[in-house]
Each structure stands twice: as C-alpha cells, then as structure tokens.
A = this chain, B = another copy of it.
Amino acid sequence: MRRHGQRHWGGEFKGCGYRMTKPRQAILDVLGETDEHLSAEDIYQAVYKFYPNIGMTTVYRNLELLVDMSLIVRFDFGHGRAKYELTDQYSEKGHHHHLVCKKCNKVIDYSDFMNDEVKFLKSTEKGLSEIYKFRITDHLIQFLGICEECSKK
C-alpha cells in the first residue's frame, strides 16, 4: 500500500539500534511529499490524516531523532516554531537556501548562484577551520528582507 513518493528508509535505521516504525515512515513520507517547510504541528496534522493514532510527543521525539541521524534538518526562522525539511541528499529540492520576508515570514527557497556560493564557502571554510580548529560540517545561509507583496503595502 505504498503511495506516490514513499520510499524505504529501513537501511538508514539498520545497525544503529533504531527501528523503522509506522510513525517514522509517516513523518518521512510527509516531509518527502511537500515543498514547504513544516513545523512539528504541521507534520502532526498531516500524519494524523492517515494515521490518527499518532501523538504529538511521538512527532517531537522522532523529529529530534531524524535530525540526529541527519535525515532531516531543523530551521529556526525566528518566530516561534521550528521548521523541518529533508536533508539535501534525500530531497527533490536539492541544495538550496532561504530568502525570508521579515514582514510576513514567508520563506522562499532558492538554488541560484550556487557557483558564487561554492567559491566563497570553499575558501572561507578552509580558512575558518584552520584558524579556529573547527571541523565544519554544515552552513546556514539566509537572506532577509521584504518580499514583493509586502513592498507594495
């Protein structure tokens, strides 16, 4: 009874002491079938539709686990609730960053100008890791401003 977009994640859970369960599959399905940035509540609501036994606690606990496993990423856009996305490698969106409107909180994904970004990242990451003895695993790049609609007001 697999629906469109579902995939097997069993392999990711094998060998690390974790089990693939219905709630976990459901959460990953929901994240795999959307282009949005979903909050824990959003995910709960979406999972609830086809798995009404789900509890909010389970959603939170699994989101934390999935972040630790690097299957998903957590973003704090700065207005209360954290948002989640599949990691680049598992997402159809691929590598991208965010453009955040300070007025309406809308978030636009972009994946343009990645060449310029790669150049910048390469030199900066190398330099920073040497100076600060930091093992850099990830980066967060966001542009903030006012979106088209909010500008008109």
Please tell me if the beta carbons of A148 and B124 are within 8 angstroms of each other in the complex. no
B77, B144, B148: the one within 8 Å of A132 (CB): B148
- Bound: A70/B142 CA distance, A: 18
Q: Which segment, of A15-23, A33-41, A44-52, A114-122, faces chain B?
A: A114-122
Please tell me if the beta carbons of A145 and B136 are within 8 angstroms of each other in the complex. yes
Please tell me if the beta carbons of A113 and B127 are within 8 angstroms of each other in the complex. yes
CB interface residues, A 98-143, toward B, < 8 Å: 99, 101-102, 108, 110, 112-113, 116-117, 119-120, 123-125, 127-129, 131-143
**Given A141-B140, A142-B140, A144-B140, are A124 and B134 neighbors across the interface (CB < 8 Å)?**
no
Please tell me if the beta carbons of B124 and A113 are within 8 angstroms of each other in the complex. yes
- Please tell me the number of chain A residues within 8 Å of chain B, measured between CB atoms: 41
Instruction: Let me know if A66 is at the binding interface, CB within 8 A.
Output: no
**A146 / chain B contacts, CB cutoff of 8 Å:** 134-135, 137
- The secondary structure that dominates the A interface is mixed
Please tell me if the beta carbons of B136 and A144 are within 8 angstroms of each other in the complex. yes
Query: Closest B-chain residue to A123, C-beta based?
Result: B116
Instruction: Let me know if A74 is at the binding interface, CB within 8 A.
Output: yes
Instruction: Let me know if A151 is at the binding interface, CB within 8 A.
Output: yes
Q: Which 5 A-B pairs have CB atoms at the shortest separation, nearest pair first?
A: A120-B120, A76-B76, A133-B148, A136-B145, A138-B144
Could you jot down 9 A-B contacts, CB within 8 Å? Answer: A74-B78, A99-B134, A112-B131, A116-B124, A134-B148, A135-B145, A140-B140, A140-B144, A141-B142
